[in-house]
Amino acid sequence: MTIDETLKDADTKMRGAVSVLQEELSGIRTGRANPRLVERLQVDYYGARTPLVQLASISVPEPRLLVIQPFDRSAMAAMEKAIMQSDLGLTPSNDGTVIRLAFPPLTEERRKDLIKVARERAEDGRVAVRNVRRHHKETLERLERGGEISEDDLKRAEREIQRLTDQYVAEVDRMLEHKEQELREV
């Protein structure tokens, strides 16, 4: 593996870690209805674990209301069960054709809990980025020990990996700050 390949691989993996974090943060509910909150829920559909988004259309007719229109009405009970078992803390109401999820305003205590969860997930994202740095730094050191690259090349590549790490950690921090602002909105 060359220096360029190693740096490119590190960039790709760091970007992947940040996109995973973005998905996780979008799953933390704020006071508003957001279809992303339920899209990833796994529903037991005829014995198979299926994402809710594949079984229904999801709409937001009002800021605090989510409407789930199942493609197959026989799956409604399984969808309701998946929502009840999730960590959303919402109770679905079913009128026979659609499932409605009303989002009550968040209490101050719940906001603080969700901010704590967001911070934990952001820290996991930072750790993932740093692990990519460590792994690729070890790869570069092996190349240097094997005589494939010079010590100067190693130092330049390590600086570049550190620059990438700083860039993606800053991105994680921006995402966390944005999520905290969302959660603090009343």
> 24: how many CB neighbours lie within 10 A of its CB?
19
The CATH topology of domain 3-26+107-184 is Topoisomerase I; Chain A, domain 4 (1.10.132)
Residue 93 gets the label, from left (phi > 0), alpha (psi -120 to 50) or beta, of beta
Which CATH class, in words, describes the domain spanning 36-102?
alpha beta
pLDDT of residue 110: 82
Residue 186 reports pLDDT greater than 70: no
Question: What does the CA dihedral 24, 25, 29, 34 come to, rounded to 10 degrees?
Answer: -90
Helix (H) or strand (E) run with residue 94 in it = strand 93-94
Residue 181 reports pLDDT greater than 70: yes
Mean pLDDT of the chain: 90
Short-list 134, 48, 37, CA closest to 83:
37
